[in-house]
Chains A and B, each alone.
Chain A
Amino acid sequence: NAGVTQTPKFRVLKTGQSMTLLCAQDMNHEYMYWYRQDPGMGLRLIHYSVGEGTTAKGEVPDGYNVSRLKKQNFLLGLESAAPSQTSVYFCASIGFTGTGVEQYFGPGTRLTVT
């Protein structure tokens, strides 16, 4: 996955529990994204960051919070998990070079909320 890792890979939560998903990249990329993917819905953007210390809302931000305290890490938090947050979560890291763009996704986190 060219330097994008996600932790954990799988998790089962009970309704109301909290957790943090960690995305880490070692490519010095400025942009990082959190998506969720549900059957028939495609990838939907939750939050994103264009640099250390910055975050912005995406299409489906409700119920999630994020932080980018260090350039290489982008954390996604669920304060009070709900069954509707059962999904596969993908993190992406994007950097722009002189010759083009580098885009890599992590392997995903499969979250089930019961």
Chain B
Amino acid sequence: EVQLVESGGGLVQPGGSLKVSCAASGFTFSGSAMHWVRQASGKGLEWVGRIRSKGNSYATAYGASVKGRFTISRDDSKNTAYLQMNSLKAEDTAMYYCTRHHPTDDVFDIWGQGTMVTVSS
């Protein structure tokens, strides 16, 4: 079965750090760029960032609101992508989704169920 499963969300204090994971199965993970998208409660989708495949030098890019604080990585041997979040702020509170960028078509064709991150004291 093709799926993405996020994990690792939770409650963290402002200024703290958290690392969430995205485990892939059912497709060739190593050949796919992986993105993170977040959604605050009652709000729209916001692109967080992406990591490309080994063939594209694992290149990363980030949205303006998280650049310099968040880092995306991947372990192709474990079919897993990661989102390391540092210097967290209350406004980072959201559901975090990982999603696959289809290797040949410009589309996010597979989405996980999301993991909730709450930044609060």
A and B associate in one complex? no
B positions within 8 Å CB-CB of A: none
Residues of chain A whose beta carbon lies under 8 Å from any beta carbon of chain B = none
